Amino acid sequence: MKFTHKAFVRWNDLDAFGHVNNAKYLTYAESARIDWGQQQFAEKDDSVLVQMTVARSEVDYLMPITEFESYYDVDLWVESIGNSSFVVGYEVSKDGLVFTKMKTVQVMIDLESRKSRPITDNERSFLTKYLVK
């Protein structure tokens, strides 16, 4: 299953070349992850998908976004689940056109020690619902 977040592209997201600045795409991915965690799970267990950090990110820019004051779909899914980390895939699209593909590696962390921790059974169950192979 995939989760879809609506990202609003603002005028100030564009750079001097008139397209969305490369760094903004990671902000769109972050907003999608926050929305996914909060809407889908956090109300039931506020520790799930909050105690994580980005260990790696990849962005493939396929086509520039030049239209602002418009919403774009950010589809999110889980590509793989490990012991303490998982890989999230993303696509930014509008009207069937895919502008960007991204991946992040998320590592679960203990907020007190700031060290990685295993994914709980509850978290694994949630993540498995979004696992797309």
Closest to 37 in 3D by CA, of 73, 9, 70, 78: 78
Give the chain's length.
133
Q: Note the pLDDT of residue 14.
A: 94
Closest to 5 in 3D by CA, of 103, 71, 78, 63: 71
Q: Note the pLDDT of residue 11.
A: 95
Cα atoms found within 13 Å of the Cα of residue 119, Cβ hemisphere only: 20
Q: Note the pLDDT of residue 37.
A: 83
For the whole model, what pTM was predicted? 0.91
Q: Collect the ranges in the chain with pLDDT lower than 50.
A: none
Q: Note the pLDDT of residue 41.
A: 63
Q: Note the pLDDT of residue 62.
A: 97
Q: Note the pLDDT of residue 79.
A: 98
Q: Note the pLDDT of residue 43.
A: 58
